[in-house]
């Protein structure tokens, strides 16, 4: 359970006191504010603030394109048009600020998305809590035999038990020694900025993360994808649910054009055209490598 | 007068209808929302949206520094500490979205600040209005004789009159021909994306501009500075007034440490120390170039 | 003719004196260094410096993926894999620095690509030359009747002549007055930062522009596209030729996956699958809007 | 010893074969290329590539400021002027690419500098080596008693021995279990992307890091500072030595204006002026907080 009674009380207090504003308000998003959506065994995602809504995207686009957009009959059509043609700037006009609690190895992947603002809990200044991500048994998967970056089958019960035992024991030992090194009882006590080096990558950290909608969609396209590591995908999935309530039209366009879409190469388009004319096309006659052909088949065959 | 009756009516409508929100609300900023602050002869700045307030800066810093910040007795002390030590990320947690109408030559300076989001009115799609910046007589200054990038004395009345006449006439002729090239009466009508090339750099454009508070402070430090060109400085000044009402504590720290502050080189610090010990220091014994010494005297002599 | 004899002499001097280096060298790019590729009537693109080559992309990828990439049989296969799966960071390891001379209205589009470094000629400090872009007659096109952002048919000879006459006359008058306002003969002389406002958007400026290969590809995908305005597309085309010689494998992958490729939405993929099964699909049964369907037909019908 | 015989041989091969180039060459930097500068117990910094030199900074500035810069008598004067007045874009015209091997907890601080390009060794794809940072005894310091983010006195020998023992033992146990979880002998073998979570933050990783000179100076100002954590400062120091040989004029200006300089607030400038007039100023009459006054005394008293 990631939230303490104190935290729950704090959230209740924040949610108890609405104030009037003249800004754009997204009703769907107000319902999410401050609530912690639980992720993994100790993590969460919660919305701290947001700017804009579907109408703000349209408004920004109409500044740019002025009368030129009037022929697009409605807001939904315009938003879909913008998404389809990779117009990024109107989506940048919406912004979201999240409070996220996540394991360090997930944070290390996440931070590679550079176009965002971050304030992370500092283990130079403060002491981390004894909270580690321990995978659920159904997530303890073997190395994939078909690709180098993924998981294959779930481990057998016995092997899984051995793994869980090692993860738990090492985490606890590392944390015991972390506390022991920091302790000032009968000794000087090691500096926090040094002691933290003993902690494993499944310890939880937390941060405030602020990002615009265009860059968030980019993050979600990569991290809510089936090929993303499960432990970051569950965060992306939780954020998707929030975004669907915040900017429902933009999110539907994102799902259709990005999450559900696919990019075909020039070679692949040629193949589709030949196939639609009735030609039998094979990998050998496609001009594609085996890997490309397999991925192409995944698109056209489903 | 930059705002049409229609625009005024639209602003009234936007301001008439407050809605409840659970987000952080800055009372000072709510009073600015949508109001157009007039700048130059046809320009304006108006706040379309914002995220966060002084407390949001503190909140983000406390996520980072946790218990480590408890010794800073209050929010003001913490914000001043963050500003003094160049901690930028907590200030990035606030965001502002402005609607700005400005001459193209000002827009060209402004856009050099890359860490922002922009949607500009597109003259490929739409037709620009006949609105040109014509300087007030007291702004018609001669080239500076002391530096290559600034203005010197105000032009004499007669010379000023000649300049104003040329600016007005050329702007109107260019716009007449712009309309004439676009016209589809009795001719095909030139494409808008081509016709716009005839328009001079004092024509007005407009955009939505969204930026975080850290990057806004950087913009204001450079553009509200006495050495900035007058025509962009008046926009920066208008924005300063808004920011002072939005995040009053952060803005006061910015004024003290950035706008009112100065950076001394290692050589300059040595000179200050020697002077405080009673040594007579001259440019020759300072190790500084003439330009550096002049600037240094400006700091210590006021 | 964009280059003066002095400029040609300077280029010759720069090209006369090779020095030894231990860095990665791209033979194809060395042949381009400093040469000005002429664009439009007075513009050019020339390579000032570059970092990396195809092998540098592979090298960076192998740092990331280590043994995991050994199954990709060769460098070309790896680069194509990276491009296909939108891995951007290895392409960021190459960098190019260009010197570009271009009309101001083109510069205004170009600068919207924020992830680049720019030093532009400053008309606050210096005086611009009397050089204006005047379109060739075959580029004087009417406003498109099918979309709001493009060109249609070429103007008739008589209308074209009127347009050219206006563009030339207004540019020259504006420049005459620019000189007249700046002049210090018998008057004070207006500040350069003010006088420039009288110059139209087809005057030429110049800048140094430095960008990494990933962001350059993004720029080229948008600006070498058939829908880009002709006057920026010719610059993008000139850069494409340079990049093809610099990183031939990466450029070929870019051409296949980006320039020659297309993104299909989830709906579009469904339609392809139904069509391949022999179903007759129409716009009405596709779930797409008319605009989407027209674009989809452009992909599958060629 | 961070480099294996294989790595040394590879470096020798890269250094054995200079090629001619027409690009700007920095003799000082060529001497560094590929050499690994050893840092900490297993880390290193080595230059893989670079673009530009001191002259490239001047060249870019002269594009911007044209004739306006002629009064600055020489390159050194111009570079110092640019640094003093915070002109960042000419420094962005130089670029460096480094190969760095560093502990994960250092990498986590380093990556917060977002304006750079990174390719990190991926522990999803590949298996990390058994290499951990174990501090030298003189670096095992107690938590500072005066501030929350630093180190105080060195630990006593006995306490230090206990700490070292814990760090070594936990690292080895964690790595033993990492190998054991990955093993496919008699079991399925846990996925690499999961097994890595057991490894502590002092394990070494490596990356290619590419950054422009302006952003590198910003990094060095923060990380070569006396308040930076020792373990990242030694990397910054190693990079400083390289940069001093690459762009000696720019680096000297950086040392004088940034590393050796200080920023005074408006209040502090007032105090300096009063003190130079002979007034006795105390913290109470300064308008500064105690912390500010202490820092101010550090500047003026040395």
Catalytic residue among C108, C151, C223, C294: C223
Any C CB within 8 A of A266 CB = yes
pLDDT band for position D71 (50/70/90)?
A: low
Residue B1 has pLDDT above 50, yes or no: no
- Tell me what ipTM this predicted complex has: 0.94
Any B CB within 8 A of D292 CB = yes
pLDDT at B185: 96
The answer to whether the beta carbons of residues B286 and B296 sit under 8 Å apart is yes
Residue C282 has pLDDT above 50, yes or no: yes
Question: Which chain C residues are Cβ-neighbours of B190 within 8 angstroms?
Answer: 140-143, 155, 159, 163
Can D223 be counted among the known catalytic residues? yes
Chains with 3+ CB–CB pairs under 8 A to D are A, B, C
Any C CB within 8 A of B111 CB = yes
Considering CB atoms only, which of B148, B261, B276 is closest to D68? B148
**Shortest CA distance from B255: residue in chain D:** D266
pLDDT in tens, chain A (302 residues): 456 787 788 788 888 889 999 999 999 999 999 999 999 999 999 999 999 999 999 999 988 776 545 555 689 999 999 999 999 999 999 999 999 999 999 999 999 999 999 999 999 999 999 999 999 999 999 998 877 778 999 999 999 999 999 999 999 999 999 999 999 999 999 999 999 999 999 999 999 999 999 999 999 999 999 999 999 999 999 999 999 999 999 999 999 999 999 999 999 999 999 999 999 999 999 999 998 999 999 999 87
Chains with 3+ CB–CB pairs under 8 A to B are A, C, D
Task: List, in sequence order, every residue forming a beta bridge with C99; answer none if it has no partner.
Answer: C46, C208
Contacts of C186 (CB under 8 A, 6+ apart): none
pLDDT at B5: 80
- CB–CB of A68 and B122 under 8 A? yes
Measured in angstroms, the CA of C8 and the nearest CA of chain B are apart by 28
pLDDT at B66: 61
DSSP string, A171-231: HHHHHHHHHHHH--SSS--B-HHHHGGGSBTTBEEEEEEEEEHHHHHHHHHHHSSTTS-HH
> Domain A5-133+202-259 carries which CATH code?
3.30.1360.170
Nearest CA to B269 out of D258, D233, D222, D217 is that of D258
Q: Work out the mean pLDDT of chain B and round it to a whole number.
A: 93
Any C CB within 8 A of D205 CB = no
A290 in helix, strand or coil? helix
Any D CB within 8 A of C23 CB = yes
For the segment B177-198, what is each residue's pLDDT rounded down to a tens digit?
Answer: 999 999 999 999 999 999 999 9
- CB–CB of B148 and D262 under 8 A? no
B49 in helix, strand or coil? strand
The answer to whether the beta carbons of residues D209 and D116 sit under 8 Å apart is yes
- CB–CB of A188 and D124 under 8 A? no
Catalytic residue among D62, D162, D169, D223: D223
> Residues of D comprising the binding site for FAD?
89, 112-114, 120, 212-214, 218
The residue behind tokens 């280096």 is C21
**Shortest CA distance from B257: residue in chain D:** D265
Any B CB within 8 A of C183 CB = no
Percentage of chain B with pLDDT > 70? Answer: 96
- CB–CB of C256 and A266 under 8 A? yes
Distance CA A200, CA A179 (A): 14
Residue B101 has pLDDT above 50, yes or no: yes
Distance CA B225, CA A271 (A): 60
Task: Give the residue extent of every domain in chain A.
Answer: 5-133+202-259, 134-201, 266-300
pLDDT band for position D30 (50/70/90)?
A: very high
- CB–CB of C68 and D125 under 8 A? yes
- CB–CB of A263 and C257 under 8 A? yes
pLDDT band for position B3 (50/70/90)?
A: low
Any A CB within 8 A of B23 CB = yes
What six digits make up the tokens of D285?
Answer: 């009459």
Measured in angstroms, the CA of B245 and the nearest CA of chain D are apart by 21
For the segment D111-144, what is each residue's pLDDT rounded down to a tens digit?
Answer: 999 999 999 999 999 999 999 999 999 999 999 8
Phi, psi of B201 (to 5 degrees): -75, -5
The residue behind tokens 């208008």 is B238
Any A CB within 8 A of D222 CB = no
The answer to whether the beta carbons of residues B103 and B204 sit under 8 Å apart is yes
- CB–CB of D84 and B300 under 8 A? no
**Shortest CA distance from D71: residue in chain C:** C125
Task: List, in sequence order, every residue forming a beta bridge with B263; answer none if it has no partner.
Answer: D263
Measured in angstroms, the CA of B137 and the nearest CA of chain C are apart by 12
Any C CB within 8 A of D121 CB = yes
Residue C87 has pLDDT above 70, yes or no: yes
Residue D1 has pLDDT above 50, yes or no: no
CA angle B53, B58, B60 (to 5 degrees): 95
- CB–CB of A196 and D105 under 8 A? yes
Tell me if C232 is assigned to a ligand binding site.
no
Measured in angstroms, the CA of D251 and the nearest CA of chain C are apart by 20
For the segment C189-242, what is each residue's pLDDT rounded down to a tens digit?
Answer: 999 999 999 999 999 999 999 999 999 999 999 999 999 999 999 999 999 999
Cα within 13 Å of Cα(C138), Cβ side: 1
Q: What mean pLDDT is predicted for residues C48-74?
A: 80
Residue B149 has pLDDT above 80, yes or no: no
C136 in helix, strand or coil? coil
Could you tell me the fold of the domain covering B5-133+203-259? Gyrase A; domain 2 (3.30.1360)
Domain spanning D5-132+204-259, CATH architecture: 2-Layer Sandwich (3.30)
Catalytic residue among A223, A233, A258, A274: A223
Measured in angstroms, the CA of B89 and the nearest CA of chain D are apart by 10
**Shortest CA distance from D225: residue in chain B:** B85
């Amino acid at each position: 359970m990631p939230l303490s009674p104190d935290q729950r009380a704090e959230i209740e207090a924040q949610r108890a006191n609405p104030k009037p504003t003249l800004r754009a308000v997204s009703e769907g998003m107000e319902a999410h504010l401050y609530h912690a959506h639980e992720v993994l065994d100790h993590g969460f995602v919660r919305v701290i603030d947001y700017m804009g809504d579907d109408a703000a995207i349209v408004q920004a686009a109409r500044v740019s394109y002025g009368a030129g957009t009037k022929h697009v009959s409605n807001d939904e059509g315009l938003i879909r048009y913008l998404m389809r043609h990779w117009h990024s700037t109107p989506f940048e006009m919406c912004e979201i600020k999240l409070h996220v609690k996540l394991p360090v190895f997930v944070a290390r992947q996440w931070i590679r998305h550079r176009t965002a603002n971050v304030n992370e809990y500092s283990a130079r200044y403060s002491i981390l809590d004894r909270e580690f991500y321990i995978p659920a048994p159904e997530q303890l998967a073997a190395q994939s035999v078909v690709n180098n970056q993924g998981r294959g089958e779930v481990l057998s019960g016995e092997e899984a038990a051995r793994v869980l035992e090692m993860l738990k024991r090492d985490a606890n030992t590392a944390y015991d020694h972390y506390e022991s090194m920091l302790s000032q009882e009968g000794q000087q006590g090691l500096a926090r900025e040094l002691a933290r080096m003993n902690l494993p990558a499944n310890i939880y950290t937390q941060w405030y993360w602020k990002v615009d909608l265009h860059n968030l969609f980019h993050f979600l396209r990569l991290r809510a994808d089936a090929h993303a590591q499960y432990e970051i995908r569950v965060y992306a999935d939780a954020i998707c649910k929030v975004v669907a309530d915040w900017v429902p039209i933009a999110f539907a366009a994102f799902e259709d054009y990005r999450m559900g879409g696919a990019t075909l190469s020039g070679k692949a388009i040629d193949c589709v055209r030949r196939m639609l004319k009735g030609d039998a096309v094979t990998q050998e006659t496609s001009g594609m490598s085996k890997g490309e052909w397999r991925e192409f088949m995944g698109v056209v065959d489903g």
